Structure 1
Amino acid sequence: MREVDLEVFAADLAAGAFVVDVREPDEYAAGHVPGVHSAPLSAFGSVLDGLPAGRPVYVICASGNRSLWAAEQLAARGVDAISVAGGTAGWARAGRPLASGASA
């Protein structure tokens, strides 16, 4: 399974990467990487149709465990999925900004 570290992820995010956060809504609302889309594992099947075709999809969670599983599931369906190692917790520990509130 493809996985990137936070440095690569930060650069790709700044370049316009499409990212889904697979944490549950309360976790996402408490703090998420700005610009990422909420796609909780509890409703993961419903987001598959909304993923962009023909471009990588980055998957993030709290630490990297759930995102790795979700990226594997997406890859099995033909999506170019990439898990973000370290997750949102690592992003915050590195001093990067977090947004709060529900997704739009």
Structure 2
Amino acid sequence: MAREVDLETFAVAWSAGAVVIDVREPEEYRAGHVPGARLAPLSAPAAALPHVPRGRQVYVICASGNRSQRAADRLAVAGLDALSVAGGTRGWVDSGRPVMAGSAPGSV
């Protein structure tokens, strides 16, 4: 089972340039996402594997933390150091942190 980090820990990692994978669906991502997060919907996680950097922690985020936990488990099985972000994008937004709308920076 994947490890989980709280929003404060994630915020510190994010500000230091962490790799962030958003596993929500494209319409959710376009509505608002953590700046710099790359889209890799849970519906097609295997497509993301070749583009996820090896040897670095990867932070996986969704709306609330449920889908990211499943995706982080899958990435961990594939040999990645994946951490699920507890509270997800909803918690990120509710804590007043920055959010981007639209499709940039694109899919993984």
Q: What TM-score, normalized to structure 1? A: 0.97
Equivalent residues of 1:22, 1:40 under 8 A apart = yes
Q: Distance in 1 between matches of 2:48 and 2:73?
A: 15
Q: Distance in 1 between matches of 2:74 and 2:49?
A: 10
Q: Tell me the residue number matched to 2:92.
A: 91
Q: Distance in 1 between matches of 2:104 and 2:16?
A: 21
CA-to-partner distance for each residue in 1:51-86, whole Å, 9 max, x for gaps?
Answer: 001111110000000000000011111110000000
CA RMSD of superposed structures (Å): 0.8
- Structure 1 unaligned regions, length at least 5: none
Q: Tell me the residue number matched to 1:18.
A: 19
Matched, 1:44 2:35: no
- Structure 2 unaligned regions, length at least 5: none
* 3-state secondary structure, aligned to 2:44: helix
The percent identity for this pair of structures is 62
Matches within 5 A, 1:1-104: 1-104=2-105
Name the count of aligned residue pairs.
104
Give the helix-richer structure, 1 or 2: 1
Q: Distance in 1 between matches of 2:19 and 2:38?
A: 8
Q: CA deviation at 1:103?
A: 2.8
Equivalent residues of 1:59, 1:83 under 8 A apart = yes
* 3-state secondary structure, aligned to 2:104: coil
